């Protein structure tokens, strides 16, 4: 079943996320819908019923049903099931590319974990030097350089600029980045 199919979204919500109160609302909606159906089930269209049910639930819950976020969660779970070793950051990059506009507004930016920051800086610098392997390059989204640059703290960007100008050597840059030297 296609994860973008409204029936899939509704079923996932009912089976995996709905609270007892929400299930009661869904039950009432189903009772009304089946009461409107002709006897014997003629004219029963599951897709139309799912779409109507989805609209009714959204209305009754005050539009708190965030379908883009539900879709993002479903795709995230599918990726994690298919590739259990994938890093969360990589999953988010894939989701941003495959489902643009579904990212929830981020809370105040949290600093990158030190190991992730070091890995991103190493990738960034390897690309600048032309030593980034084709395999590593292929796994990155098209605009990764801009995204990485924006995510670097100011001190890291300043250090990269100094490295580019030759104001510091690479050993000193990495020592500063890793907190080994002021």
Of the pLDDT bands very low, low, confident and very high (cuts 50, 70, 90), residue 181 is very low
In percent, the amount of the chain with pLDDT more than 70 equals 75
* pLDDT at residue 162 tops 80: yes
Q: What is the pTM of this model?
A: 0.41
What is the DSSP code string of the chain? --TTSHHHHHHHIIIII--HHHHHHHHHHHHHHHHHSPGGGTT--HHHHHHHHHHHHHHHTTT---HHHHHHHHHHHHHHHH-TT--HHHHHHHHHHHSTT-PPPP-SPPPPPHHHHHHHHHHHHHHHHT---HHHHHTS-TTHHHHHHHHS-HHHHHHHHHHHHTSS-HHHHHHHHTTS--
Phi, psi of 64 (to 5 degrees): -80, -5
Note whether 73 and 80 are within 8 A (CB).
no
Give the pLDDT mean for 57-86. 74
In this predicted model, what pLDDT tens digit does every residue of 104-149 receive, in sequence order? 655 545 677 888 888 889 999 999 989 988 888 887 888 888 888 9
In this predicted model, what pLDDT tens digit does every residue of 30-68 receive, in sequence order? 777 666 555 555 455 556 666 666 666 656 655 455 677
The per-residue pLDDT for 182 is 47
Round the average pLDDT of the chain to a whole number and report it: 77
């Amino acid at each position: 079943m296609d994860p973008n199919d409204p029936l899939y979204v509704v079923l996932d919500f009912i089976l995996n996320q709905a609270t007892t109160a929400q299930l009661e609302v869904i039950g009432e909606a189903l009772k009304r819908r089946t009461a409107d159906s002709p006897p014997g089930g003629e004219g029963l269209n599951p897709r139309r019923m799912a779409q109507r049910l989805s609209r009714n639930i959204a209305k009754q819950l005050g539009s708190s049903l965030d379908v883009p976020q539900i879709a993002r969660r479903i795709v995230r779970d599918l990726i994690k099931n298919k590739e259990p070793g994938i890093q969360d950051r990589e999953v988010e990059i894939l989701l941003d590319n495959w489902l643009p506009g579904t990212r929830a507004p981020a809370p105040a930016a949290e600093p990158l974990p030190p190991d992730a920051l070091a890995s991103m800086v190493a990738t960034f610098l390897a690309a600048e030097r032309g030593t980034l392997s084709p395999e590593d390059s292929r796994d990155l989204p098209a605009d990764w350089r801009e995204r990485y640059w924006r995510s670097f703290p100011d001190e890291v960007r300043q250090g990269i600029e100094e490295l580019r100008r030759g104001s510091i050597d690479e050993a000193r840059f990495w020592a500063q980045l890793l907190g080994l030297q002021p």
